[in-house]
Structure 1
Amino acid sequence: MRLLRRSIVCVVLGGLFFTTGCTTSLVEESFLGTPENAPADPLSPNGAPDILVLWQEDKTKLSLTVWGSSSCANFPSAIDWNTGSSNRVNITLEAPADEVCTADFAPKTYIVAVPQRAQGASVDVTVTGPQKGDRFTTVLS
């Protein structure tokens, strides 16, 4: 119900949220769980889950999986595609504001469209989290 309410607010106030990053305009789809092509054990060697970024649909989309409360996971608030001599994407995660969260720990995946100029290419991905110092970098090839 919250997602529906948030989506309606984003549509109604679209111009207002455009500058602050409404998730429905940045993300094509989101779901609890990991994508089908995720590794069987997506945990890092120290047992903590990393952010998981994978190609989807013949490199026309990418998936971004984050771990946290299933009821209010961090979400992409800004996605900036920079292309030059190499393709780069910077994704900024934001924590939901003023929400009561469940005390569980689950993956949530966001599907993001890749601009045509970057489809199929090697892409440097940087994800910056809501906490100071939260930064994850990987290369999709």
Structure 2
Amino acid sequence: MSALLAGAAALVLVGCSSAASIATETVRGVPSGVTLTDDEQGGEQPVAVWTDNRETLTVVTWGSSGCPPVPTELELESAMLLNLRFAPPTAEVCTADFAPTSHVFATPDGISFSAVQLAMVFEQREGDPVEVTVPIRDNE
């Protein structure tokens, strides 16, 4: 549980990056059609969901709604593992709220659809990056 809370705290600090997003779409909140479980709604860790009949991947992160994390790289490491990197935040001041932001990506070619994991790296302005790995699940 403490690792989850540390990940959530790190996500609050990530945001306000000047990097360009590689997401095909970024949505404040959770997009219509994506359902979060009661546990996921707490925002303790990011959520990864196959959407649009597995043609897209939606990743929900938590933090400042004014300065959401910016995804800069998505790569297929293996048929069972995707790597997603987020840019370090800028020095800009962000809102102190804690809200979801959803990032939508085209599903990479070569991915298996059974037991796939998403390894995320959240770069920091200072210190070590925060790494979080979550399973990618089907939308309920």
* Contact 1:68 1:107 survives alignment (8 Å): yes
The structure-2 alpha-carbon separation of the partners of 1:115 and 1:95, relative to structure 1 and needing over 3 Å to count, comes to same
Where do 5+ consecutive residues of structure 1 fail to align? 1-5, 7-20
Which 5+ residue runs of structure 2 have no aligned equivalent? 1-17
1:37 paired to 2:34: yes
Q: Is the 8 A contact 1:60 1:116 kept in 2?
A: no
Which stretch of the first structure deviates more once superposed, 89-98 or 113-122? Answer: 113-122
CA contact (8 A) 2:48 2:58 kept: yes
Structure having the larger proportion of residues in helix: 1
CA distance in 2, matches of 1:34, 1:87: 25
1:129 CA displacement: 1.5
2:119 equivalent among 123, 126, 141: 126
SS of residue paired to 2:110: helix
Query: Contact 2:40–2:47 at 8 Å: present in 1 too?
Result: no
RMSD: 2.4
Number of equivalenced pairs: 116
Distance 2:112 2:106 in 1: 9
The structural deviation recorded for 1:103 is: 1.7
1:7-60 CA distances to partner (integer Å, 9 max, x unpaired)?
xxxxxxxxxxxxxx631xx2100011123323243448xx55211111111111
1:110 aligns with 2:106: no
Choose between structure 1 and 2 for higher RCO, CA contacts under 8 A separated by at least 6 residues: 2
Q: What's the counterpart of residue 16 of structure 1? A: none
Query: Which entry has the higher C-alpha Rg, 1 or 2?
Result: 1
- The amino acid that maps onto 1:98 is A
Matched to 2:75, the amino acid is D
Give, in angstroms, the shift of residue 104 of structure 1.
1.2
**Cα distance in 1 for residues equivalent to 2:129 and 2:89:** 18
Aligned position for 2:7: none
The answer (yes or no) to whether the contact 2:80–2:112 under 8 Å persists in 1 is no
TM-score, length-scaled by structure 2: 0.69
1:59-100: CA deviation from partner (whole Å, max 9, x where unpaired): 1111111111111111212111123xx332111122431323
